[in-house]
Amino acid sequence: MTLALQGTGVSSGIAIGPVHIMRRDALEIIEYTLEEERIEEEIHRFHSALEMAKQHLQRIREQIPVHTRSDIVAFIDTHLLMLDDSTLSKVPVQLIQQHRCNAEWALKLQRDALVKVFDEMDDPYLRTRRDDVDHVVNNVLRILLNSPVYHQVGHHQEHRLTGHIIIADDLSPADAVLMQHQGIGGFVTERGGPTSHTAILARSLGIPAIVGLHHAQAFLSDHETIIIDGRRGTLIGSPDTQILQHYLFAKRQEQLLQEEHRRNRDLPAVSLDGTPISLNANIELPEDLHLTLQTSAEGVGLYRTEYLFMNRDEPPTEEEQFEVYRTIVERLDGKPLTIRTLDLGADKQIDGSTPNNLTNPALGLRAIRLCLKEPALFFPQLRAIYRASAYGPVRLMLPMISSTQELIQILRHLDSVRHQLSNHAIPFDPALPIGGMIEVPAAAINAEMLGEYLDFFSIGTNDLIQYTLAIDRIDDEVNYLYDPLHPAVLKLIGMTVAAGNKLGIPVTMCGEMAGDMRYTRLLLGLGLRNFSMHPNSIAEVKRIIAQSDVYLLAEQVTRLLHATSHEAFHTALNALTALH
């Protein structure tokens, strides 16, 4: 009988193939007390296990093909560094001494303490860093317990895994790299989230993957044929002929589409009626640039710098930031880099801690408000951005702007930064464009007034939707109300575009809506001509643009924005999405 299971699709693509279950027995860790004279011996045993785990990872690192991208190797290096970190190399030794306990128990205590910290984090990205702790610690525990180390994916298996779909409770980034090298068709894990390193790697490596599919191993057996759809997160077991045919056809269509995207890579984004559209990439880490450079992105429309400030005790210095920004500018080789100033607070805390729960953090001291309150945080970044602008086109973008007073204050700061740099004969671009994000309803409504102080607008729909509809974007309970197509949201986008057109300043959109092909026609109809999105979405959005007549769409959108009833709105919306 056909079986359908649902997980979280994290790397799109359809894979059809036999199952290979990677089973690891749960680690059973028991505590025992040591005689005083055995403590040194136990510490030695712990150190040897650490050393073996390192050697094991180093061997995997050496097996990565030479042409593999440096950021993929970096994932393995992160695990190697973690093994050297005192939290894993020294604290367990202290615990062995303090509790006179066995090494496994000490390591387990330390793992539990670390995992607890990660679990309490509000940021989903940081919360998944607990997976890294788990992967690294479990490998050491397996060595200590003498259980077969999990990496069944050794070279001896080269051919056995070709075309197989791996089902595991969890996979480390190292596993993903090796398995791709061995030609697996895709993988499914019972645990993990969309922002885990393994999920990110699957996307970079182009392996169809599903995570968080609980009990997958219990439902499947080795060698049976399954289908996975990495976009939708669906797994189908024992498919009948009809289903199999359907997916074989879908897989072929997908391949054809990929080929079309590759062929069209260097074509400009132009609509059916000849309107040029600018497509740009969003990046979070400098490593994301590699993916961007493989697309036809005209530049980076949003560089979220906050990730540079996370997971560390001290914020990066001006010099460190300058080096990072300059490197990206140089790698972009003449394409513009839009650097957004620090957008910390609410869901993005520097140390991953829970925001002050006495207030409503999304409405509190975050983003530009925090920067204006903490000049010691803001000024080094502003100086670093200006300094990087001497090496190629840079644009500075301000998050969460809500009033002209804020802008006036920031512009004064920028003046003083320019003076400081000039006085020290430090080169920078004096005409560096300053843009403001429109992500608070007040900013959209008042865009005309704000635009007097700015060179461009960039609509942040993720926050604009949250604030317009009063829905916490990270609260699962109200997620169902998060609606990019809400008439109020569309009106605010329309108002921002109109204000930009009136003032003659470009309007970009860099929220998730810009990269969702379901909304491309609507946004074109609303007058949007500049989009910034995850690099992986660029090809699809470009394809929709090539099939769209923006004048026809604009007429439909006018009807949509003037709809006075729910029915009229939805009729206009349906007509619009059906249109080319």
Task: Give residues in contact with Mg ion (CB under 5 A).
Answer: 439, 460, 463
Distance CA 551, CA 108 (A): 63
Q: Which of 298, 343, 406, 429 binds ligand PEP (CB under 6 A)?
A: 343
DSSP characters for 224-251? -EEEEETTTTEEEES--HHHHHHHHHHH
What residue number has its CB nearest to Mg ion? 463
Distance CA 484, CA 500 (A): 21
Longest dimension (CA), the chain: 85
Of 107 and 493, CB closest to ligand PEP: 493
Of 168 and 510, CB closest to ligand PEP: 510
Q: Are 352 and 479 in contact (CB under 8 A)?
A: no
Tell me if residue 197 is catalytic. yes
Q: Which of 509, 462, 485 is nearest to 577 (CA)?
A: 485
Return the range that interacts with ligand PEP (CB under 6 A); candidates 109-117, 235-243, 309-317, 457-465: 457-465
Distance CA 191, CA 186 (A): 15
Return the range that interacts with ligand PEP (CB under 6 A); candidates 119-127, 205-213, 458-466, 499-507: 458-466
Q: Which of 172, 204, 217, 461 binds ligand PEP (CB under 6 A)?
A: 461
> By CB under 6 A, is residue 460 in contact with ligand PEP?
yes
The helix (H) or strand (E) run that includes residue 14 is strand 14-22
> Minimum CB separation from ligand PEP for residue 471, in Å?
13
CB atoms within 10 A of CB 28: 8
Q: Looking only at residues 264 through 283 of this chain, which bind ligand PEP when binding is defined by CB under 6 A?
A: none
Q: What residues pair up with 578 in beta bridges, in sequence order? A: none
Return the range that interacts with ligand PEP (CB under 6 A); candidates 19-27, 135-143, 192-200, 456-464: 456-464
> By CB under 6 A, is residue 368 in contact with ligand PEP?
no
Rounded to whole angstroms, what are the CA distances from 139 to 134, 150, 491?
8, 7, 53
Of 107 and 471, CB closest to ligand PEP: 471
* 510, 534, 566, 580: the active-site residue: 510
Structure tokens at 240: 């009948």
> By CB under 6 A, is residue 463 in contact with ligand PEP?
yes
> Minimum CB separation from ligand PEP for residue 4, in Å?
33
> Minimum CB separation from ligand PEP for residue 202, in Å?
22
**Distance between the two ends of the chain, CA-based, in angstroms?**
41
Rounded to whole angstroms, what are the CA distances from 367 to 281, 348, 425?
21, 9, 30
Strand order in the sheet with 8-11: 3-6, 234-237, 225-229, 14-22, 165-168, 186-189, 209-211, 8-11
From the list Mg ion, ligand PEP, none, which binds 304 (C-beta under 5 to 8 Å, kind-based)? Answer: ligand PEP
* 197, 290, 413, 580: the active-site residue: 197
Give the count of alpha carbons within 13 A of 275, CB side only. 19
> By CB under 6 A, is residue 462 in contact with ligand PEP?
yes
> By CB under 6 A, is residue 92 in contact with ligand PEP?
no
> By CB under 6 A, is residue 123 in contact with ligand PEP?
no
Of 285 and 579, CB closest to Mg ion: 285
Tell me if residue 510 is catalytic. yes
Distance CA 226, CA 236 (A): 6
Q: Are 459 and 509 in contact (CB under 8 A)?
A: yes
Of 189 and 458, CB closest to Mg ion: 458
Cα dihedral 426, 281, 468, 525, rounded to 10, equals 120
Return the range that interacts with ligand PEP (CB under 6 A); candidates 7-15, 454-462, 477-485, 543-551: 454-462
Q: Are 340 and 400 in contact (CB under 8 A)?
A: no
From the list Mg ion, ligand PEP, none, which binds 510 (C-beta under 5 to 8 Å, kind-based)? Answer: ligand PEP
> Minimum CB separation from Mg ion for residue 343, in Å?
6
Return the range that interacts with ligand PEP (CB under 6 A); candidates 11-19, 101-109, 162-170, 455-463: 455-463
> By CB under 6 A, is residue 195 in contact with ligand PEP?
no
Rounded to whole angstroms, what are the CA distances from 68 to 59, 207, 275, 290?
15, 14, 38, 12
From the list Mg ion, ligand PEP, none, which binds 443 (C-beta under 5 to 8 Å, kind-based)? Answer: none
Of 420 and 462, CB closest to Mg ion: 462
Give the count of alpha carbons within 13 A of 456, CB side only. 25
Of 42 and 512, CB closest to ligand PEP: 512
Q: Which residues contact 317 (CB under 8 A, 6 or more apart)?
A: 380
Q: Which of 510, 524, 545, 557 binds ligand PEP (CB under 6 A)?
A: 510
Q: Are 408 and 436 in contact (CB under 8 A)?
A: no
Of 95 and 514, CB closest to ligand PEP: 514
The residues that touch ligand PEP, with contacts defined as CB under 6 A, are: 302, 304, 343, 439, 460-463, 510-511
Which residues are catalytically annotated? 197, 510
